[in-house]
Amino acid sequence: MRTNVGARPDRTSGRARPWAAGQRPAKGWRRTLWRMARSWDAYLFLAPGLLLFSVFTLFALGFAFYLTFHEWSIIQPDKPFVGLGNYRDLLDDERFRRSVYNTAYFTGASVPLTMMVGLVVALLLNQPLRARGILRVMYFLPVVTPFVVVAIIWKWLYNGDFGLFNYYLLKANLIEEPLLWLADKNLAMPSIILMSVWAGVGFSMVVYLAALQAVPEELYDAAKVDGAGAWARLRYVTIPMLRPATLFLMVMGIIGSFQIFTQIFVMTQGGPVDRTTTMMFYIYEAAFKFYEMGYASTLAYALFAMLFVFTLLQLRLYRRAYE
């Protein structure tokens, strides 16, 4: 059966349909529009989602960027244009620098701890234990528990007068007087980190469990034949095979820790003396406590820039690992 040169199969009839002279669309944006016109029904179904995305994401991002160039207060009728004034104030803001330090401190401590504890728990629950399913559910429960509920419970545990932590530490004679966990400037952030690690271990455990079950058993058999012990198999087989899961957890952990807010809002309100004021909480204060929407938008874009840089660095690290 002969077909015309340059013929294109007809999706509806299955027969070849040659291009008519002068009907081939031009290259570039006209060709793109022509293809969109052919699939108009698909775009009709996508229209509600695209509309919501455009209004609540694209427009919101554009308007927030517009606010960064204005002194935009909710309670003031005048919204003067200040140019780069908000960005200059950002560089001179001591509280902003403190919030960056607190966020970096929280990230540098909570992310590695959560990943390491999650890996240990995953290795233990990957063994043929009797109540393995129940233990997995118990470790994962904090992940699905609302963070507000978790923060309130841990706030009571940290209570200086009748909290359980002080009660058992006093009973064990490890401390002589109750500790003010959330009111002490040296203990407040470590207390937040401990609670966050407890709440996030379950997610790391599930990711590592899935990665462990995907490791070929033949690799362990070959290592045993070569005389490798349990520690050698963990070091030279398990951990290298878990590299994709580790990089995924690191990226998601850093992004999530840079946006920590709920724990701070419920437990410390940024105190004492700004020792737990993170970037997200500082943005909240600027917007809804001092009503400075322009400066709050500037802070939000500074946070976005930091996350963007960290994500690029981690993606580059991920690519190097597989080159």
- Using alpha carbons, select from 194, 203, 193, 213 the residue that is nearest to residue 139: 203
Whole-angstrom distance, CA of residue 193 vs CA of residue 50: 38
Q: How many residues does the chain have?
A: 323
Domain 87-321's class? mainly alpha
Whole-angstrom distance, CA of residue 55 vs CA of residue 51: 6
The residue extents of the domains of the chain are: 24-54, 87-321
> pLDDT by residue for the chain (323 residues), tens digit each?
444 444 444 444 444 444 444 455 556 677 777 777 777 788 788 888 989 988 888 999 999 999 999 999 888 888 999 999 999 999 999 999 999 999 999 999 999 999 999 999 999 999 888 888 899 999 999 999 999 999 999 999 999 888 999 999 999 999 999 999 999 999 999 999 999 999 999 999 999 999 999 999 899 889 888 888 889 999 999 999 998 899 889 989 998 999 999 999 999 999 899 999 999 999 999 999 999 999 999 999 999 999 898 888 877 877 776 66
Whole-angstrom distance, CA of residue 118 vs CA of residue 122: 6
Could you tell me the pTM of the whole model? Answer: 0.83
The amino acid sitting at 71 is E
Instruction: Give pLDDT, residue 270.
Output: 93
